[in-house]
């Protein structure tokens, strides 16, 4: 996509944002109602293709009449809703009539795009990764025990798409390479075997990923990573690659101060449209697949809060330690509200790590060090010269 067109699209995103859909939490009924309201739009073909284990409806939506088939699925992990939100933004884009009509027509005339939004509605209802009986659907591509897994596999097998887009979220602890830059987007072409062979199927997905990175680098320089490509025999992406589908995994990560993932949602929107346009134009074929390996690896090097150079007193001796704290967002299902739970993720020499927020605590002493344990709640006090100066309450640093 030409730079000017891409920039205009990015700047126009607010015209297509489905503001009635949150980026960080979507329930099944919201998807159902939104799709039912689109039933009269001749641009889309919407079908119920099955139900979840708990009998929640799962839908597909088709747009376009081209020869090249594309399959996009979202939220096979119930607590990863960012791409589902971006899906509704895409529907608004394709329903619009404005200066991007030529781009729309090109995509709709040349591609047949199939979406399955919210593959795991039972997990989404609980805001959990797994389905209703607590299995990871992305580790069920071989046994196909779950109804949702069978549905996803059968749809792909019948469709036989050339390209697949597997949309996920990852937490805030990943960096783009060994830097303090958060991995706002991570990309992967899943392998088809343990030796990570590269055939024509994988080569095409690598080329598409290179084009996606090229597009997004304009907006998030040095914040795009390459997800680990260790072969996972039970995963859908790996098996779809074996099946001949050029699969691209997109992980929505963390962008600084974007805690609700509204900006990362915008990146999803931009990534998919730029990928669709590249497939239409076939310009991805001009890319040398090995450029894929120049994308920095996804590294888990960030803490939500990193306290450096604290003094820990033990057995009448003093030790210098760093403390890394991570904060997890959880759903109170009774109140239908989120709350945050902080735990100590690591203690010791954390000099190779970074903090989304961090402080140098040289000269400060941990008061209640006996309560410090990894994976335990992050609640303790910090003193200087015997006077309490800071309090950590549920991972938040409070000055006293």
Per-residue pLDDT tens digits for 58-71: 999 999 999 999 99
Domain boundary among 300, 317, 338: 300
Is residue 157 located within the same domain as residue 102?
yes
Residue (of 134, 26, 160) closest to 80 by Cα position = 26
Is residue 162 located within the same domain as residue 280?
yes
> Which residues lie across from 332 on neighbouring strands?
337
Domain boundary among 281, 300, 319: 300
Is residue 234 located within the same domain as residue 342?
no
Say if CB 269 and CB 90 are below 8 A apart: yes
Say if CB 26 and CB 124 are below 8 A apart: yes
Residue (of 395, 228, 243) closest to 306 by Cα position = 395
Check whether 12 has a pLDDT greater than 90: yes
Token pair of 151 as six digits: 């549905």
Is residue 315 located within the same domain as residue 223?
no
* Containing structural domain, residue 347: 302-399
We report the CATH number of the domain holding residue 379 as 2.30.40.10
Write down the pTM of the prediction: 0.95
Is residue 186 located within the same domain as residue 200?
yes
Per-residue pLDDT tens digits for 232-278: 999 999 999 999 999 999 999 999 999 999 999 999 999 999 999 99
We report the CATH number of the domain holding residue 133 as 3.40.630.10
> Positive or negative, the Cα torsion across 81, 214, 90, 76?
negative
Per-residue pLDDT tens digits for 142-191: 999 999 999 999 999 999 999 999 999 999 999 999 999 999 999 999 99
How wide is the angle at C-alpha 332 spanned by C-alphas 151 and 256, nearest 5°? Answer: 85
How many domains does one find in the chain?
2
Overall average pLDDT of the 207-230 stretch: 97
Is residue 331 located within the same domain as residue 294?
no
Domain boundary among 249, 269, 300: 300
Is residue 390 located within the same domain as residue 254?
no
Per-residue pLDDT tens digits for 347-390: 999 999 999 999 999 999 999 777 789 999 999 999 999 899 99
Strands 337-348 and 163-169: unpaired
Is residue 356 located within the same domain as residue 386?
yes
Is residue 88 located within the same domain as residue 207?
yes
């Amino acid at each position: 996509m030409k730079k000017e067109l891409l920039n205009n699209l990015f700047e126009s995103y607010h015209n297509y944002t489905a503001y009635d859909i949150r980026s960080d939490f979507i329930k099944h009924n919201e998807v159902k109602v939104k799709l039912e309201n689109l039933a009269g739009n001749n641009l889309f073909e919407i079908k119920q293709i099955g139900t979840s284990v708990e009998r929640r409806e799962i839908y597909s939506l088709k747009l376009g009449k081209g020869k090249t088939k594309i399959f996009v699925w979202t939220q096979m992990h119930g607590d990863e809703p960012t791409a589902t939100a971006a899906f509704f933004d895409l529907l608004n884009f394709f329903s619009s009539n404005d200066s991007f009509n030529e781009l729309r027509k090109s995509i709709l005339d040349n591609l047949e795009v199939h979406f399955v939004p919210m593959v795991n509605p039972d997990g989404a209802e609980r805001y959990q990764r797994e389905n209703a009986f607590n299995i990871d659907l992305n580790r069920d591509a071989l046994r196909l025990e779950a109804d949702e897994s069978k549905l996803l596999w059968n749809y792909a097998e019948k469709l036989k798409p050339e390209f697949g887009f597997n949309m996920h979220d990852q937490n805030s602890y990943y960096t783009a390479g060994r830097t303090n830059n958060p991995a706002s987007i991570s990309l992967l072409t899943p392998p088809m075997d343990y030796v990570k062979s590269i055939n024509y199927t994988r080569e095409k997905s690598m080329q598409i990923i290179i084009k996606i990175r090229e597009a997004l680098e304009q907006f998030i320089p040095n914040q795009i990573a390459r997800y680990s490509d260790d072969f996972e025999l039970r995963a859908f992406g790996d098996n779809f690659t074996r099946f001949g589908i050029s699969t691209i995994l997109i992980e929505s990560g963390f962008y600084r101060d974007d805690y609700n993932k509204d900006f990362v949602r915008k990146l999803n929107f931009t990534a998919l449209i730029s990928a669709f346009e590249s497939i239409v134009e076939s310009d991805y074929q001009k890319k040398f697949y090995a450029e894929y390996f120049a994308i920095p690896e996804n590294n888990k090097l960030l803490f939500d809060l990193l306290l450096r150079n604290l003094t820990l007193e033990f057995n009448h001796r003093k030790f210098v330690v760093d403390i890394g704290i991570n904060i997890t967002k959880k759903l109170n299902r009774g109140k239908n509200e989120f709350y945050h739970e902080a735990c100590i993720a690591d203690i010791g020499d954390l000099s190779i790590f970074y903090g989304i927020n961090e402080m140098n605590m040289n000269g400060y002493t941990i008061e209640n060090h006996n309560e410090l344990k990894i994976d335990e709640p992050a609640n303790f006090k910090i003193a200087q010269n015997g006077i309490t100066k800071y309090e950590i309450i549920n991972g938040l640093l409070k000055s006293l």
